[in-house]
A and B are shown apart, each in its own frame.
Chain A
Amino acid sequence: MRAVAAFLCGLIFGVGLLVSQMTNPMKVIGFLDVFGRWDPSLALVMGGALVVASIGFWWVERRGRTMLGDELALPPRRPVDARLLGGSALFGIGWGIGGFCPGPAVVAASALSFDAAIFVVAMLAGMWIATRLASRFATSAGAGQAAAGPGAQ
């Protein structure tokens, strides 16, 4: 049941990205080209998505449980930090160069775009590197904790 729901969500999400043309980098670059000939289309994509998603999140957070009776597993609310801003800045630069963000890139690659496939492979490599970096930091933090005294585990 959960897998079917997730599959349908992915499918509808992907069709939405195709219909809105988010999968076409030229369209995305046209939206980001505020100082040139600006194509405001993607503002409507985001606006439309936000209206519906806001209602859904408001409703489910009010219920406190999913329709299947499970507990919510939404990300906790944390303060803004340098990691968030630095990572988002790197993402923005990559988005501006290629015109692809993760979801549309996966869908465009699935539509057999060779360029999108190259991008996706590089993106997965980038994600893997980020995870390696994070686990290195986590390991050194864990070592610090272990040195501070017995306990964890």
Chain B
Amino acid sequence: MTIDWPAFTPGSALTGGLLIGFAAAFLALTLGRVAGISGILGSLLVSARGASADRGWRIAFLVGLVLAPAVATLAAVPLPPVQTLVDWPWLVLAGLLVGLGTRIGSGCTSGHGVCGLARGSLRSLAATLTFMAFGVGTVWLFEHALRVSP
């Protein structure tokens, strides 16, 4: 392992992390809910006809999420670039796997990785270790074993 020191951005990483944690804590304190993005998106897809009382806060949360880049720009927070390393057929495959996997596994980086771990959930610990391990393994496969991306 070599650490990529020039790429390391501890200040912005920690600041962003504290904001994410604050948002998750705030949602728990005000609504008693877990800020799991895949859960919020997934339940909106399902309950389109069931129209539950929980639709409202999920939609409001998503509106906030979607407006974040605009608000950040207004607040003069520089937007980071979005640099993908693979072509769009790979992005489609990646999207399908992430959509399927997060619904089957009941959570993603936010629901399991932040909220679940913060609650000391054993399930979330197992889920986080699993998706981290498979993420690391996949990057190793693509970047080093197969050298698919540049």
Please report A residues at the B interface, Cβ cutoff 8 Å. Answer: 2-27, 29-30, 32-57, 59-61, 65-68, 70-75, 77-80, 83-103, 105-108, 110-113, 115-116, 118-131, 133-134
- Chain B interfacial residues counted at CB < 8 A: 116
Asked, given contacts A11-B67, A16-B17, A115-B91, whether A4 binds B100 with beta carbons under 8 Å apart, the answer is: no
Asked, given contacts A80-B122, A94-B101, A110-B69, whether A5 binds B79 with beta carbons under 8 Å apart, the answer is: no
Residue of A15, A21, A106 touching B37 (CB-CB under 8 A): A106
The answer to whether B16 touches A126 (Cβ under 8 A) is: no
Residue of A7, A25, A27, A52 touching B25 (CB-CB under 8 A): A52
The answer to whether B119 touches A94 (Cβ under 8 A) is: no
Residues of B within 8 A of A24 (CB): 80-83
Residues of B within 8 A of A20 (CB): 12-13, 15-17, 19-20
Residues of A within 8 A of B82 (CB): 23-25, 108, 111, 113, 115-116
Interface residues of B in 1-54 (CB under 8 A from A): 1-4, 7-10, 12-35, 37-38, 41-42, 45-46, 54
The answer to whether B95 touches A13 (Cβ under 8 A) is: no
User: Whole-angstrom distance between the alpha carbons of A19 and B27 in the complex?
Assistant: 20
Residue of A35, A36, A107, A124 touching B69 (CB-CB under 8 A): A107
Residue of B83, B90, B101 touching A90 (CB-CB under 8 A): B101
